[in-house]
Each structure stands twice: as C-alpha cells, then as structure tokens.
Structure 1
Amino acid sequence: MLCPTSPHLALLALLSVAGAVGPGGPSPSETPGILLLSTNRLASVSTASFQHLPELAELDLSGNGLGALHTGPPLPLLQELVLSHNALGVLPTLQGLPALTRLALAHNNISELLPGAFRAVGQLKDLNLRGNQLRTLPEEVFEGLAGLKDLDLSDNALDELPRGLLTGLELETLRLSGNQLRTLPSGFFPEEHMFAFVFLAGNPWRCDCGLAYLRGWIADNDFSVYIEEQRSEGLQINNDPRSPMCDAPLRHRGSPVLEFKQACGKAGDADLDIDGTMTEEGTPVPSATVPSTNPISHHPEPANLPPWGCNKAGTP
C-alpha cells in the first residue's frame, strides 16, 4: 500500500505505479522494469503495491520521508532498491527480495543493526549506509554477504568496530570516512586481501601505540587509501595515504597517521610517550638506550650495595 500525505500525491503515486503519469508527475523510466517514485512525500509503502509489475528490477523511493517499508509477497526480479533520504528509524524487513544486488539506505535515521541483518538478501553487491546514526556494529552484521563488493559506512557516528566485522567478505571498496573512530583493532583488515579503495579520512584518530596496527596497514597498502573531496568541478576521488590525520594527543594533531612515530612494544600496547621510529612493517622500534650489563664507571659501586630499587636488607 502507498500512503502519501495528500490525495493529489496519492493519485500521482498510483498513476506512477500503473505507468500512466502525466507531465510533471513522477514517472517510470522508459526502460521496462525501472520505476521512479522519488520525492513524492510517501509516508509508508508496501511492496505488495508492485505485485502487478512482475518485471520490476529497479525501484527508487528516495526522498519521500518514508517512515516504514513493508515487505509482502516476493518481488523476485528486483535487483536495485533505493531508500535514501527518508526517515527510516529501523532497517526494513528484507524478505521476498531474492535477487537484490544493490540496497541504498543512505541518510536515514537508522541507529542499530542486528547480527545477520542482511542475511535475507545474500546476493547484495552494493550496500550504502552512509549518513545514518550508527554508533557501533555487531561483529556478525554482514554475515552471509560473501558477494558484497562495496560497503559505505561513512558519515555515521561509529566510535568502534569489532575485529571480525569484515570476516568472510571480499570487499573492493570500504568507506569509513566521517565517523568518530579513534583506532581499529589489530587484524581488522583480512590478511592478504587487496582492497581497491579504502576511505579513512575525517575520523579523530588517536595516534598512540594503539594505532600502530592501522599505521602499519596504511604503509603496506598506501595504493588503496583514498579521499573524497568536494571541489568546484564536482566530487573528486584521489589516492592519498596521508589523508587519515591524527586528532590526539594534542602534540600529534594535524599530522598524518602515516607519519606517526612512537616508541611502543608490539602493536596494541599503550602509549609509552617516548619518541621513536617505526619500521616499514609498522613494528615500533624504541630509541631508548638499554644499560650495558658491564657499565664502565669512574666510581664503581661497592660490592656490598643492594640491587637497584632495594634496601640493604633486600626489601623493596
């Protein structure tokens, strides 16, 4: 069922579904199987409304202020569903869409996703969740999406991501820009997997030893790190491994994560607050001097002195 906010819009919507709209109204594409119903102020839609369109392959419902999408009988040939720029607060039930390969949910109000949320649409190749209100994600949220190639999580409020989030995925493009990420867990990126594009800019990265893993990954995969920039000539996408910037501590703010240098132990250790260098593999190398086991001194200690940090009786 289509539920516009006025009788006039209801008529336009129903005519559009029937493929008989007049000038100025929402119109389906001249290509069979494509239906454009964007910007109609539809408050609620049921996929049952489209059952008389068995060849429907692409459905655009963007910009309607939709608060709900109800899925009914299957739309067996639907490959593309655009729900961007609506008012969806929860992920719609995605049953009955076995052929879906592209799902656009950008710029809604979705704040939570459950484990296996997209399991019913296992053929997805392109999933756009940009500009929602996600703060974190369960590790199994993308379970069952082995064919997913493009995942857009940019411009949410993500402040942490689980280590196994990308397990089982074969992504080509991953967008994480514009979130609240301060670090990524060690092993977050699947080993030996080559990404074509990864977007990491616009996060408040905390450049201490906890970021050694990400710094090392960027150094090893600099050809995959890109940035999106809006310019007068339009949106530009450029390779820029220096685009992820440190936000904290204050002494590192504004410096590229790639240039961060810190004396740490193994990746993931706390910040030791000692200047040092990084190897090409991202393994920190401390610059502190280790005392010799046979120090040369002009005033050698008497043999009866207690060890460092102990009293004469040997107690701490």
Structure 2
Amino acid sequence: MASAGLLPCLLVPLLAGLSRACPEGCDCFQREVVCSAEELAAIPAGLPERATDLVLVETSLAALRPGAFGNHSQLAKVVLLNNELRRVEAGAFGGLPGLRDLEITGSALAGLPGTAFRNLTGLRKLTLNFDSLTGLPEDLFWGLDCLEALHLQGNELQGLPEALFRPLGALRVLNVAQNLLEHVPEGLLAPLGSLELLKLSDNHLAALPPGLFRGLGGLRELFLDANRLAELPPEVFRGLGALERLWLQRNAIGRLPAGLFSSLANLTFLNLEGNALRALAGGLFLGTPKLARLSLSHNRLENVSAGLFGGASGLSVLSLSHNRLGSLPPGLFGPVPRLTELYLGSNNLTALDGGLFRNLSLLEQLSLSHNLLSSLPDGIFDDNFSLFHLALHGNPWACDCRLAYLLGWLHEYVEGLFNRQTYCAGPPYLRGQLLPALRPEQLVCPVPLRAEDEPGGWEPAAEGRAPARCAYSNPEGTVVLACERDACRWLRAQLSARQTSGTRSLAFNSTQEWLLKSSCGSLRLTISINALAGEG
C-alpha cells in the first residue's frame, strides 16, 4: 500500500491524464465535444475515443484540408457553426466512414469542389445553410445514395444544375428556401421519388414548369411562398395525391385556373394569402374533401361565387379577411357545415343575407370587424349554437330598433369584453356609445305619420317592419325622448349643452322647454326643477 506521502505524486499524473482527455478550448460531455475557443484554427486532435459528436462554434477555422479529421473515425455527427471557414478541399472528410450528420452553417464558402463529400456514403443529413454559396457543381452529391435530408437554405444560389439531385433517390427532405433562384429546370426534382417535404420559399421564382413536381407522389408538404409567381400552370399539382399542406402566400398570383387543386384529395391546409386574386371560380376546391384550413386573406377579392367552396366539406377554418368584398352570396357557406372559425373582417360588406350562417352549428369564432355594416338581419345567428366570440368593432352601427336582435343576442350569448371597442355611429344621441352596454329600450325607430292622422298620431307598424317606436330629439341631440304607441318609455336630457356652447344649466325652481322632432312628428317637452323645503 502506498504511503500517504506518495499520494500527491500518484494523483498528479492521473489528473493530467484526465485533462488530456478533452482538447484545450473544448468542453467534453458524455459523447459530445463542443469547441468554441476563438483561437482554434484546426480540428482539435486527441478527442475522447467515445466521442461521436463534434461541434465547433465561432472559431478561427478557415479551411478544411484533406484528412482534416485525422483518425477520428468514430465521429457520427460534425457541426461547424459560424466559423471563419472559407474553403473545403477534396478529401477533407476522408476517414469518417460512420458520419451520419454533417452541418456547415454560417460560413463564407462561396463554392465547393464536386468531390467535397465523395466518401461519405453513409451520410443521412447534410446541412449547408447561410454559407454564401452562389453555385453547386453538378456532381456534388454523387455517392450520397443514403442521404435523407438536404438543407441549402439562406445561400445565394441563382440556379441549380438539372442533374444535381440525380443520386438522391432516398431524399425525404429538401430545403432550398431563401436563395436567389429565378427558375428551376423541369427535370430537377424528377429523381426524388421519396421526397416528403420541399421548401422553395423566399426565392425569385416567377413561373413554375408544368411538370416540375411530376413523380413526387409521396410529397406531403410543399412551400412555394414568398416568390414572384404570377400564375400557376393548371396541371402543376397533378399527381400529388399525398400532399397535405401547401403554402402559396406572398406571391403575385392574379388568378387560379379551374381544377388546379382537383387532384389533391389529401390536402388539409392551403395558404393563399397576400396574393393579387380578384375573383375565384366556382368549384375551385372540388376534389379537396379533407381541406380543413384555408386562408384567402389579404387579396383583392371583390366578389365570390356561391359554389366556391363546393367539394371542401371538411373545412373548419376559413379566412376571407382584408379583401374588397362588398357582398356575399346566399348559401356561400352551405357546403362547409364544419366551420369553427370564419374571418370576414376588413372588407367592404354593407349587408349580410339573413341565412348566410345557417347550419353552421359548430361555428365558434366569427369576425365581421372593420366593414361597413350598420345593422344585421333578425335571426342571423339562430343556428350558431356554438358561437361565443363575435367581433363587431370598426363598423358604423346604427343603434336603432333594427339592431334589437343583435343586442339581445350579445347580452345572452357573448362575453361583453369581446366587443369593448364596438360603438354606435348613430343616431346622433347614441353616437359613440358602447353597443353591448345599451339597454333594449334605447333602440328605437321612427314611425312615419299618415297624412290623414292628426299631428302626433301613429301609423301601425306594417308586418315585417320595425316596432312602433319613435325617438324625438332636439337639434343638438342633448335631449332625447323615446316613445311607443301609448306612452313614452325613457328620457335622456343633458340640461346644459356642450360646455363650449355657453348655455347655462337649469337652475333650481326654474323651467325649461324644448321642441323635439323626429320623422314621427314634433312634441314639446317641459322640465321643471323645484327645490323642496325641509331638512335633509
């Protein structure tokens, strides 16, 4: 047994051995080595034998030369993130037969040799994001027969060789978003029969070849958003029977050909917002029975046909907001009884058909905000048993008897906080009042006099017309008297006009008269205020 005096001598070499297990400037974990020392200019030597993942972050590594990884054949994952890397030479990744995941992100590579990845036959995922790449050699991916995911996002690619992806028959994910692509060859994607996700977002694509997606029968997600597409070939999506999600927003699409989506039987999500659509053909969504979410917002739609949503019976969320719609045809939403959310805000709607929302018993959220609506038909929400959020703000509501149904419905079914910004635009004596806070008796309408009646007489309300109520007011709207056939129900009087008018308040023991008018006729109102003698 060693004496106590020898223990320090034994411990020193032991600690030294442990410290050498992790290279200087790196942190070593169970199977991962992370190196972030700014002065590091080469792949560190002496990695722990059990380390399978190597990550270099913000180092001075400027070039990867042949054999750069030495004898670290155990590595399965290499990540080079935001380094000063400018050059990758042929054979740089030699000696890494087990490499499955390679990422080079945030470098200034500009270009790569065609043989850069030639020996990585087991590679499953390759990421070359934000590396300033301006072009790719046609033979760059030769030998990568097992590659399943390829990310080329955020580079400066202006074009791609038609045979570039020919060896990648196993590829499932391809991301070429945020580049400068102006066109793509029609046969570029043909070899990718296993592809499930394709991102071409944020490029400069102005047109798509009709057969670009031919052979991609397993594609599930397709991103074409934020390009310059003005039109789409009628057959461009033909054969994409497995497609579930399609992004087309933020383009310049002015029209959609009939039958464009007819072969997308499994489509559940479609985003068309932010285009230049002015009209949509009836039956456009025939063949999409599983479509659940559809956005057509932020377009230039002025009208839509009654049969627009025929065939989209599974639709649950629909947005038509921020368009120029002046009216909606009766029966428009009849084919989509499963709607739970419907957004019609920020249009030019002046009136709605009384049966527009009939049979939408599952509807939970409806936005009618920022239109030109002054009233709504009685009974318009009678079938909407699940509706709890109704947005009405930003409309010029006329708060008279024609709004009695809406007010009653709001009081019974909708939380008042939802419409705290919904105000009356008229009549003058209610202008600026919060609509949900009104009382039913405040919603009155004038009833015209018959010529043969004496002044102050009443005309019985015809069937289907407003109730026989009338609101009399002075020109300033400071005194309002609401009357029915036999009696007056309420009086609102601001005894002094606006403070800037100079009119004095009504003093104690005094009387004031007003001549009140409406389309029903005129009447004179007298108010007296008498102070009572006595204590209290």
Q: How many residues align?
A: 260
Change (3 A) 1:52 1:276: same
Which residue of structure 1 aligns with residue 382 of structure 2? 190
Higher percent of residues as helix: 1
Deviations 1:20-53 (A, max 9, x none): 77897599xxx96111111111011146223354
Change (3 A) 1:215 1:263: closer
One-letter identity of the residue aligned with 1:176: L
More deviation, 188-197/105-114:
188-197
More deviation, 44-53/182-191:
44-53
Instruction: Flag the structure with larger Rg.
Output: 2
Deviations 1:242-288 (A, max 9, x none): 332101122212111123352648994376115578xxxxxxx9517
Q: In structure 1, what is the Cα distance between the partners aligned to 2:201 and 2:272?
A: 24
Which residue of structure 1 aligns with residue 470 of structure 2? 272
Which residue of structure 2 aligns with residue 112 of structure 1? 303
Matched, 1:164 2:366: no
One-letter identity of the residue aligned with 1:58: R
Q: Within 5 Å, which residues of 2 pair with 1:121-200?
A: 121-170=312-361, 171-190=363-382, 193-200=385-392
> Unaligned stretches of 5+ in structure 1?
1-6, 226-238, 278-284, 290-316
More deviation, 251-260/164-173:
251-260
One-letter identity of the residue aligned with 1:51: R
One-letter identity of the residue aligned with 2:429: R
Q: In structure 2, what is the Cα distance between the partners aligned to 1:179 and 1:209?
A: 20
Which residue of structure 2 aligns with residue 309 of structure 1? none
Change (3 A) 1:88 1:14: farther
What SS class does the counterpart of residue 174 from structure 1 fall into?
A: strand
Q: Is the 8 A contact 2:374 2:396 kept in 1?
A: yes
What SS class does the counterpart of residue 425 from structure 2 fall into?
A: strand
> Unaligned stretches of 5+ in structure 2?
1-179, 206-217, 446-460, 473-479, 492-536
Q: Is the 8 A contact 1:106 1:128 kept in 2?
A: yes
TM-score by length of 1: 0.72
Matched, 1:10 2:208: no
What SS class does the counterpart of residue 211 from structure 1 fall into?
A: helix
Change (3 A) 1:13 1:109: farther
What SS class does the counterpart of residue 219 from structure 1 fall into?
A: helix
Match of 1:77 among 259, 263, 266: 266
More deviation, 70-79/97-106:
70-79
One-letter identity of the residue aligned with 1:147: R
Q: Within 5 Å, which residues of 2 pair with 1:79-94?
A: 79-92=268-281, 93-94=284-285
Measure how far apart 1:81 and its partner are. Answer: 0.9
More deviation, 201-210/111-120:
111-120
Which residue of structure 2 aligns with residue 34 of structure 1? 221
What SS class does the counterpart of residue 184 from structure 2 fall into?
A: helix
Change (3 A) 1:207 1:85: same
What SS class does the counterpart of residue 216 from structure 1 fall into?
A: helix
Which residue of structure 2 aligns with residue 229 of structure 1? none
Change (3 A) 1:74 1:251: same
Q: In structure 2, what is the Cα distance between the partners aligned to 1:138 and 1:22?
A: 36
Change (3 A) 1:16 1:111: farther
Which residue of structure 2 aligns with residue 260 of structure 1? 438
Q: Is the 8 A contact 1:36 1:59 kept in 2?
A: yes
Which runs of at least 4 in structure 1 moved beyond 4 Å after TM superposition? 12-27, 274-277
More relative contact order in 1 or in 2 (CA 8 Å, sep 6+)?
A: 1
Measure how far apart 1:10 and its partner are. Answer: 2.5
Q: In structure 2, what is the Cα distance between the partners aligned to 1:59 and 1:21?
A: 10
Q: CA RMSD in A?
A: 3.4
| Paired-residue identity, % | 32
What SS class does the counterpart of residue 45 from structure 1 fall into?
A: coil
More deviation, 167-176/249-258:
249-258
Q: Is the 8 A contact 2:199 2:223 kept in 1?
A: no
Q: In structure 1, what is the Cα distance between the partners aligned to 2:239 and 2:443?
A: 66
Q: Within 5 Å, which residues of 2 pair with 1:208-227?
A: 208-223=400-415
What SS class does the counterpart of residue 69 from structure 1 fall into?
A: coil
